[in-house]
Amino acid sequence: PPVTAPAEPETSNAPILRAVKFALTGGTGMQVRCGSISQSGDRSVLLKDVPAGRCTIQVGGQKASVQVNEPRAVDCTLSGETLECH
């Protein structure tokens, strides 16, 4: 069988964003990961020098993800068992 090269991580050639701020309403204790950069905070998290792409937000057992292509603020709301971020 032909040998295939391993797939490159999708963030390998992604532009680096100066800062992305995540804010949480309706809960506390959020963890955010964008590429290899992760940080946690109570109601807000500021990530600096992150690769553009998909970011994952976790609050308790709930997870959400957003596509981040430019420096911006992401608002997350925890309502019951649903975490929504935009």
Looking at residue 14, its pLDDT comes to: 87
Q: Is 67 within 8 Å of 46 (Cβ atoms)?
A: no
- For residue 57, give the 3-state DSSP assignment: strand
Model confidence at 9: pLDDT above 80: no
Structure tokens that stand for 19 in this block:
């800062």
Ranges of beta strands (E only) in the chain are: 16-25, 30-34, 37-41, 44-51, 53-59, 62-68, 72-79, 82-85
21-80: pLDDT as tens digits = 999 999 999 999 999 999 999 999 999 999 999 999 999 999 999 999 999 999 999 999
